[in-house]
Amino acid sequence: MSGESIPLGATLPRFATRTRETTILYRELRKPLLRYLVCLGLSADEARDVVQEAFVSLQEHLAAGRSQENMRAWLYRVAHNRARNRQTSYDRRFSGPLEGAEIATMLDERTPERRILQLEKFGQLAGAVRQLTDQERECLLLRGGGLRYREIGEVLGLPTSTVGDTVERAIKKLAEKCNV
pLDDT digits (tens, 9 = 90+) for 121-163: 777 777 888 888 989 999 988 888 888 999 999 999 999 999 9
The string of DSSP codes covering 44-95 is: HHHHHHHHHHHHHHHHHHHHTT---S-HHHHHHHHHHHHHHHHHTSHHHHTS
The single-letter code of the amino acid at 166 is: T
Decide if pLDDT at 28 tops 50.
yes
Helix, coil or strand: residue 145? coil
Judge contact between 159 and 146, C-beta under 8 A.
no
C-alpha 68: how far from chain center: 18
Domains, the chain, ordered by start: 10-96 (1.10.1740), 107-180 (1.10.10.10)
Closest of 129, 122, 130, 142 to residue 171, by C-alpha: 129
Give the C-alpha separation, 161 to 158, whole Å. Answer: 8
Give the C-alpha separation, 109 to 96, whole Å. Answer: 27
Q: How confident is the model at residue 176 (pLDDT cuts 50, 70, 90)?
A: confident
Closest of 82, 25, 10, 6 to residue 50, by C-alpha: 82
| pLDDT tens digit sequence for 79-98 | 999 988 887 774 545 555 44
pLDDT at 5: 39
- Which contiguous run of DSSP H or E holds residue 38? helix 8-40
CA neighbours closer than 13 Å in the CB half-sphere of residue 14:
12
